[in-house]
Amino acid sequence: MPDDQRRPELLKTTGLGVHYGGVVAVDGVDLTIGRGELVGLIGPNGAGKTTTVDAISGFTTHSGRVVLDGADLSERSPHERARAGLARTWQSVELFEDLTVRQHCEVAANRAGLFDLFADAVWPKRARERSAVEAALESMELTGVADERPSELPHGTQKLVGVARALAAEPEVLLLDEPAAGLDSAESEHFGHRLRSIVDAGTSALLIDHDTQLVMNVCDCVYVLDFGSVITSGPPEEVRNDPRVIEAYLGVGAERNARKASDPRPEDDTEGGSWR
Protein backbone atom coordinates (compact mmCIF):
# COMPACT_ATOMS: atom_id res chain seq x y z
CA MET A 1 0.00 0.00 0.00
CA PRO A 2 1.51 3.37 -0.93
CA ASP A 3 2.55 5.39 2.11
CA ASP A 4 0.39 8.33 1.06
CA GLN A 5 -2.68 6.11 1.39
CA ARG A 6 -1.84 4.96 4.91
CA ARG A 7 -2.88 6.68 8.12
CA PRO A 8 -0.39 8.94 9.95
CA GLU A 9 2.57 6.89 11.17
CA LEU A 10 2.62 5.76 14.81
CA LEU A 11 5.00 2.78 14.98
CA LYS A 12 7.81 2.19 12.52
CA THR A 13 10.58 -0.38 12.32
CA THR A 14 13.55 0.20 10.04
CA GLY A 15 16.02 -2.53 9.14
CA LEU A 16 14.85 -4.67 12.05
CA GLY A 17 17.10 -7.71 12.34
CA VAL A 18 17.54 -10.61 14.75
CA HIS A 19 20.44 -13.09 14.54
CA TYR A 20 20.96 -16.17 16.70
CA GLY A 21 24.56 -17.05 16.01
CA GLY A 22 24.73 -17.71 12.30
CA VAL A 23 20.95 -18.03 11.97
CA VAL A 24 19.11 -15.01 10.59
CA ALA A 25 15.63 -15.05 12.16
CA VAL A 26 14.54 -11.57 11.08
CA ASP A 27 16.23 -9.84 8.18
CA GLY A 28 15.84 -6.09 7.65
CA VAL A 29 12.13 -5.78 8.34
CA ASP A 30 10.60 -2.38 7.58
CA LEU A 31 7.08 -2.19 8.97
CA THR A 32 4.71 0.71 9.66
CA ILE A 33 1.55 0.90 11.74
CA GLY A 34 -0.57 4.01 11.39
CA ARG A 35 -2.73 5.65 14.02
CA GLY A 36 -5.99 3.76 14.44
CA GLU A 37 -4.76 1.10 12.02
CA LEU A 38 -4.94 -2.69 12.27
CA VAL A 39 -1.98 -4.33 10.55
CA GLY A 40 -1.63 -8.05 9.92
CA LEU A 41 1.60 -10.04 9.90
CA ILE A 42 1.40 -13.49 8.32
CA GLY A 43 3.72 -16.11 6.92
CA PRO A 44 4.52 -19.82 7.09
CA ASN A 45 5.76 -21.48 10.28
CA GLY A 46 9.27 -20.33 11.12
CA ALA A 47 8.99 -17.17 9.01
CA GLY A 48 9.99 -14.95 11.96
CA LYS A 49 6.64 -13.47 12.99
CA THR A 50 6.91 -13.98 16.76
CA THR A 51 10.59 -13.01 16.70
CA THR A 52 9.58 -9.74 15.03
CA VAL A 53 7.17 -9.03 17.90
CA ASP A 54 9.86 -10.05 20.41
CA ALA A 55 12.19 -7.49 18.82
CA ILE A 56 9.62 -4.69 18.67
CA SER A 57 8.68 -5.23 22.32
CA GLY A 58 12.32 -5.52 23.43
CA PHE A 59 12.34 -9.17 24.48
CA THR A 60 15.17 -10.09 22.13
CA THR A 61 18.31 -8.24 21.04
CA HIS A 62 17.93 -6.71 17.62
CA SER A 63 19.57 -4.44 15.09
CA GLY A 64 17.71 -1.65 13.33
CA ARG A 65 15.30 0.86 14.82
CA VAL A 66 11.94 0.76 16.57
CA VAL A 67 10.29 4.19 16.70
CA LEU A 68 7.00 4.87 18.49
CA ASP A 69 5.34 8.24 18.01
CA GLY A 70 8.69 9.81 17.13
CA ALA A 71 10.58 8.30 20.10
CA ASP A 72 13.39 5.84 19.33
CA LEU A 73 12.90 2.79 21.57
CA SER A 74 15.68 0.72 20.02
CA GLU A 75 17.92 0.77 23.10
CA ARG A 76 15.16 0.57 25.69
CA SER A 77 14.21 -2.40 27.85
CA PRO A 78 10.86 -4.23 27.57
CA HIS A 79 9.35 -2.43 30.57
CA GLU A 80 10.46 0.94 29.21
CA ARG A 81 8.86 0.15 25.88
CA ALA A 82 5.69 -0.90 27.69
CA ARG A 83 5.62 2.40 29.57
CA ALA A 84 6.11 4.22 26.27
CA GLY A 85 2.94 2.63 24.93
CA LEU A 86 3.64 -0.89 23.61
CA ALA A 87 1.70 -3.86 24.98
CA ARG A 88 1.80 -7.44 23.77
CA THR A 89 0.23 -10.85 24.16
CA TRP A 90 1.97 -14.22 23.94
CA GLN A 91 1.46 -17.42 21.96
CA SER A 92 1.56 -19.37 25.21
CA VAL A 93 -0.97 -17.91 27.60
CA GLU A 94 1.54 -16.75 30.27
CA LEU A 95 -1.02 -16.03 33.00
CA PHE A 96 -0.66 -16.26 36.79
CA GLU A 97 -2.56 -19.14 38.40
CA ASP A 98 -3.16 -17.31 41.68
CA LEU A 99 -4.68 -14.13 40.18
CA THR A 100 -8.22 -13.67 38.95
CA VAL A 101 -9.01 -12.33 35.51
CA ARG A 102 -9.72 -8.90 36.99
CA GLN A 103 -6.49 -8.90 38.97
CA HIS A 104 -4.50 -9.63 35.82
CA CYS A 105 -5.97 -6.49 34.30
CA GLU A 106 -5.41 -4.47 37.47
CA VAL A 107 -1.71 -5.34 37.47
CA ALA A 108 -1.39 -4.21 33.85
CA ALA A 109 -3.34 -1.00 34.47
CA ASN A 110 -1.13 0.05 37.36
CA ARG A 111 1.84 1.96 35.92
CA ALA A 112 2.58 3.61 39.24
CA GLY A 113 5.83 3.65 41.17
CA LEU A 114 6.82 1.48 44.11
CA PHE A 115 5.17 3.70 46.74
CA ASP A 116 1.85 3.59 44.90
CA LEU A 117 2.00 -0.20 44.66
CA PHE A 118 2.13 -0.37 48.47
CA ALA A 119 -0.53 2.31 48.80
CA ASP A 120 -2.88 0.37 46.53
CA ALA A 121 -2.87 -2.45 49.07
CA VAL A 122 -4.54 -0.08 51.57
CA TRP A 123 -6.51 2.43 49.51
CA PRO A 124 -8.85 1.84 46.58
CA LYS A 125 -7.55 1.88 43.05
CA ARG A 126 -7.60 5.17 41.27
CA ALA A 127 -10.60 5.92 39.08
CA ARG A 128 -8.52 5.84 35.88
CA GLU A 129 -7.20 2.37 36.61
CA ARG A 130 -10.65 1.10 37.52
CA SER A 131 -12.04 2.52 34.29
CA ALA A 132 -9.26 0.97 32.20
CA VAL A 133 -9.79 -2.44 33.82
CA GLU A 134 -13.54 -2.44 33.32
CA ALA A 135 -13.16 -1.27 29.72
CA ALA A 136 -10.66 -4.04 28.99
CA LEU A 137 -12.89 -6.72 30.53
CA GLU A 138 -15.90 -5.46 28.62
CA SER A 139 -14.01 -5.27 25.32
CA MET A 140 -13.21 -9.00 25.50
CA GLU A 141 -16.61 -9.84 27.05
CA LEU A 142 -14.97 -11.17 30.22
CA THR A 143 -16.99 -9.26 32.82
CA GLY A 144 -18.95 -12.40 33.71
CA VAL A 145 -15.78 -14.35 34.54
CA ALA A 146 -13.77 -11.46 35.99
CA ASP A 147 -13.52 -13.01 39.44
CA GLU A 148 -12.49 -16.46 38.24
CA ARG A 149 -8.94 -17.70 37.83
CA PRO A 150 -7.74 -18.33 34.27
CA SER A 151 -7.04 -22.00 35.04
CA GLU A 152 -10.78 -22.43 35.54
CA LEU A 153 -11.51 -21.20 32.01
CA PRO A 154 -11.26 -22.81 28.55
CA HIS A 155 -8.01 -22.24 26.67
CA GLY A 156 -9.67 -19.93 24.15
CA THR A 157 -11.02 -17.75 26.94
CA GLN A 158 -7.59 -17.67 28.57
CA LYS A 159 -6.23 -16.19 25.32
CA LEU A 160 -8.81 -13.41 25.57
CA VAL A 161 -7.68 -12.74 29.15
CA GLY A 162 -4.21 -12.09 27.76
CA VAL A 163 -5.66 -9.58 25.28
CA ALA A 164 -7.70 -7.87 28.02
CA ARG A 165 -4.61 -7.62 30.24
CA ALA A 166 -2.70 -5.91 27.44
CA LEU A 167 -5.60 -3.54 26.76
CA ALA A 168 -5.82 -2.58 30.45
CA ALA A 169 -2.43 -0.89 30.10
CA GLU A 170 -4.08 1.51 27.60
CA PRO A 171 -1.33 1.06 25.01
CA GLU A 172 -0.69 3.15 21.93
CA VAL A 173 0.00 -0.04 19.98
CA LEU A 174 -1.23 -3.54 20.82
CA LEU A 175 0.94 -6.42 19.58
CA LEU A 176 -1.13 -9.60 19.32
CA ASP A 177 0.59 -12.97 18.85
CA GLU A 178 -1.91 -15.69 17.90
CA PRO A 179 -4.82 -14.31 19.98
CA ALA A 180 -7.40 -16.46 18.18
CA ALA A 181 -5.62 -19.76 18.84
CA GLY A 182 -8.08 -22.07 20.58
CA LEU A 183 -11.15 -20.29 19.20
CA ASP A 184 -13.51 -22.01 16.79
CA SER A 185 -14.51 -20.36 13.50
CA ALA A 186 -17.50 -18.52 14.93
CA GLU A 187 -15.54 -17.35 17.99
CA SER A 188 -12.66 -16.22 15.79
CA GLU A 189 -15.00 -14.21 13.60
CA HIS A 190 -16.61 -12.62 16.66
CA PHE A 191 -13.17 -11.83 18.10
CA GLY A 192 -12.29 -10.13 14.81
CA HIS A 193 -15.31 -7.85 15.13
CA ARG A 194 -14.35 -6.97 18.72
CA LEU A 195 -10.75 -6.26 17.71
CA ARG A 196 -11.88 -4.11 14.82
CA SER A 197 -14.04 -2.04 17.16
CA ILE A 198 -11.10 -1.58 19.56
CA VAL A 199 -8.89 -0.33 16.73
CA ASP A 200 -11.62 1.91 15.35
CA ALA A 201 -11.88 3.45 18.84
CA GLY A 202 -8.22 4.53 18.61
CA THR A 203 -5.86 1.72 19.67
CA SER A 204 -3.52 0.67 16.85
CA ALA A 205 -2.65 -3.02 16.62
CA LEU A 206 -0.41 -5.58 14.96
CA LEU A 207 -2.11 -8.96 14.52
CA ILE A 208 -0.31 -12.27 13.99
CA ASP A 209 -2.58 -15.25 13.50
CA HIS A 210 -2.63 -18.52 11.56
CA ASP A 211 -6.30 -17.86 10.85
CA THR A 212 -5.57 -16.01 7.62
CA GLN A 213 -9.27 -15.50 6.99
CA LEU A 214 -9.45 -13.52 10.23
CA VAL A 215 -6.40 -11.44 9.28
CA MET A 216 -7.64 -10.72 5.76
CA ASN A 217 -11.14 -9.82 6.96
CA VAL A 218 -10.24 -7.29 9.66
CA CYS A 219 -6.86 -5.75 8.79
CA ASP A 220 -6.24 -2.52 6.90
CA CYS A 221 -2.83 -3.65 5.69
CA VAL A 222 -1.05 -7.02 5.69
CA TYR A 223 2.69 -7.78 5.69
CA VAL A 224 3.93 -11.22 4.66
CA LEU A 225 7.16 -12.69 6.03
CA ASP A 226 9.13 -15.55 4.53
CA PHE A 227 12.51 -16.64 5.92
CA GLY A 228 12.59 -13.51 8.08
CA SER A 229 12.08 -11.01 5.25
CA VAL A 230 9.03 -9.07 4.09
CA ILE A 231 8.14 -10.38 0.64
CA THR A 232 5.12 -8.15 0.13
CA SER A 233 2.69 -5.83 1.91
CA GLY A 234 -0.50 -4.03 1.07
CA PRO A 235 -4.28 -4.20 1.32
CA PRO A 236 -5.63 -7.69 2.08
CA GLU A 237 -7.27 -8.08 -1.31
CA GLU A 238 -3.94 -7.48 -3.05
CA VAL A 239 -1.87 -9.62 -0.70
CA ARG A 240 -4.11 -12.67 -0.92
CA ASN A 241 -3.68 -12.77 -4.70
CA ASP A 242 0.06 -12.06 -4.78
CA PRO A 243 1.88 -14.99 -6.47
CA ARG A 244 4.76 -14.64 -4.00
CA VAL A 245 2.37 -15.13 -1.10
CA ILE A 246 0.66 -18.08 -2.75
CA GLU A 247 4.03 -19.75 -3.30
CA ALA A 248 5.61 -18.94 0.07
CA TYR A 249 2.59 -19.17 2.37
CA LEU A 250 0.75 -22.02 0.74
CA GLY A 251 3.87 -23.90 -0.35
CA VAL A 252 2.92 -24.01 -4.02
CA GLY A 253 6.54 -24.16 -5.13
CA ALA A 254 7.30 -27.05 -2.80
CA GLU A 255 4.21 -28.95 -3.91
CA ARG A 256 4.99 -28.46 -7.56
CA ASN A 257 8.60 -29.55 -7.11
CA ALA A 258 7.47 -32.67 -5.27
CA ARG A 259 5.05 -33.47 -8.04
CA LYS A 260 7.71 -33.05 -10.72
CA ALA A 261 10.05 -35.32 -8.78
CA SER A 262 7.46 -38.08 -8.56
CA ASP A 263 6.15 -37.62 -12.12
CA PRO A 264 8.82 -36.71 -14.69
CA ARG A 265 6.27 -36.07 -17.44
CA PRO A 266 6.08 -32.44 -18.68
CA GLU A 267 3.59 -30.24 -16.85
CA ASP A 268 0.79 -28.49 -18.67
CA ASP A 269 1.19 -24.80 -17.84
CA THR A 270 -2.55 -24.31 -18.08
CA GLU A 271 -3.19 -26.34 -14.92
CA GLY A 272 -1.02 -24.18 -12.69
CA GLY A 273 -4.07 -22.51 -11.19
CA SER A 274 -5.23 -25.77 -9.66
CA TRP A 275 -2.29 -25.66 -7.27
CA ARG A 276 -3.41 -22.43 -5.66
pLDDT mean by block of 10 residues, the chain; 276 residues: 71 97 96 97 94 98 98 97 96 90 92 53 55 94 96 92 96 96 92 96 96 95 96 95 83 45 39 28
Task: Determine the Cα–Cα distance for residues 79 and 87; give it in Å rounded to an integer.
Answer: 10
Say if residues 109 and 168 touch (Cβ distance below 8 Å). yes
Cβ atoms of residues 131 and 190 within 8 Å? no
Distance of CA 34 to the CA centre of its chain: 14
Contact between 106 and 124 under an 8 Å Cβ cutoff? The reply is no
Q: Which of 150, 219, 159, 208 has its CA nearest to residue 187? A: 159
Cβ atoms of 14 and 45 closer than 8 Å: no
pLDDT (0 to 100) of residue 7: 76
Beta-strand runs (E) in 178-246? 204-208, 221-226, 229-234
Compute the distance between CA of residue 144 and CA of residue 199 in angstroms, rounded to an integer: 23
CA atoms within 13 A on the CB side of 55: 29
* Predicted pLDDT at 112: 54
The answer for residues whose C-beta is within 8 angstroms of residue 213's C-beta and 6 or more apart is 188
Report the pLDDT value the prediction gives residue 269, as an integer from 0 to 100.
Answer: 35
DSSP 8-state secondary structure symbol assigned to residue 268: P
